[in-house]
Structure 1
């Protein structure tokens, strides 16, 4: 039987590299492991870590097609991050004029959560520890 040990990374393609790089580093607090420009693809690849663990590959490509987030379609729905204090997390975004949905409660776990969107409208969930 296959044994999967952990999630290795999440790959995200952005439409504006500098805006998304700033969002994922300055707003969300990911640290840069390495940044590579791939001349043959006219593309950047930014490897990001969360708590010293490799987590996200942020890619840029010339003129990538838009992917719909709403209405919801087949495929990856969103990414989610665990936080210790859901109210503080939401305030972090509202203080930066980033729209954060109202805090809701998961009907099955009783835990609180809310969503924001990244610069390309990728839904990002923050879930109470």
Structure 2
């Protein structure tokens, strides 16, 4: 059996780098660890942290192909963040002009959650602690 410690990071390729950078840093509040422009690939790589832990690599590439994300297509289903209160989180996102789905309750855990979409329509979930 492999001895895995934790998920190290999630890599996301975006279609509009500045729009996605704003979303992940100003709307979700992830902090920038480093930003690199790779000239040979005409690509930015933005390393982002949550509470000091490295969690997301945001990439830009010229004309990336679109990947279907809904309804239930194969591949990454969604990115989920734990929050103390989904109500407070949802209210803050609405103030920022983000379209939020209604709050639902997980039938197995009894925990509340809801979804939004990032600038490339990647589903992002907020799940109550």
| Residue 91 (structure 2) pairs with residue 91 (structure 1) | yes
Once the two structures are TM-superposed, the CA of residue 71 in structure 1 deviates from its matched residue by: 2.2
In structure 1, C-alpha distance between the alignment counterparts of 2:94 and 2:56, rounded to whole Å? 24
**Partner secondary structure for residue 88 of structure 1:** helix
- Structure 2 gaps, min length 5: none
Query: How many aligned positions are there?
Result: 129
In structure 2, C-alpha distance between the alignment counterparts of 1:29 and 1:57, rounded to whole Å? 14
| Residue 111 (structure 2) pairs with residue 101 (structure 1) | no
Q: How does 1:46-85 map to 2 (within 5 A)?
A: 46-85=46-85
Q: When the two structures are superposed, what TM-score results if normalisation uses the length of structure 2?
A: 0.98
Which 4+ stretches in 1 moved above 3 angstroms?
none
**Partner secondary structure for residue 18 of structure 2:** helix
In structure 2, C-alpha distance between the alignment counterparts of 1:13 and 1:122, rounded to whole Å? 10
Q: When the two structures are superposed, what TM-score results if normalisation uses the length of structure 1?
A: 0.98
Q: Root-mean-square deviation (CA), in Å? A: 0.6
Once the two structures are TM-superposed, the CA of residue 86 in structure 1 deviates from its matched residue by: 0.8
- Structure 1 gaps, min length 5: none
In structure 2, C-alpha distance between the alignment counterparts of 1:108 and 1:127, rounded to whole Å? 13
The equivalent of 1:45 in structure 2 is: 45
Q: How does 1:108-123 map to 2 (within 5 A)?
A: 108-123=108-123
In structure 2, C-alpha distance between the alignment counterparts of 1:69 and 1:75, rounded to whole Å? 8
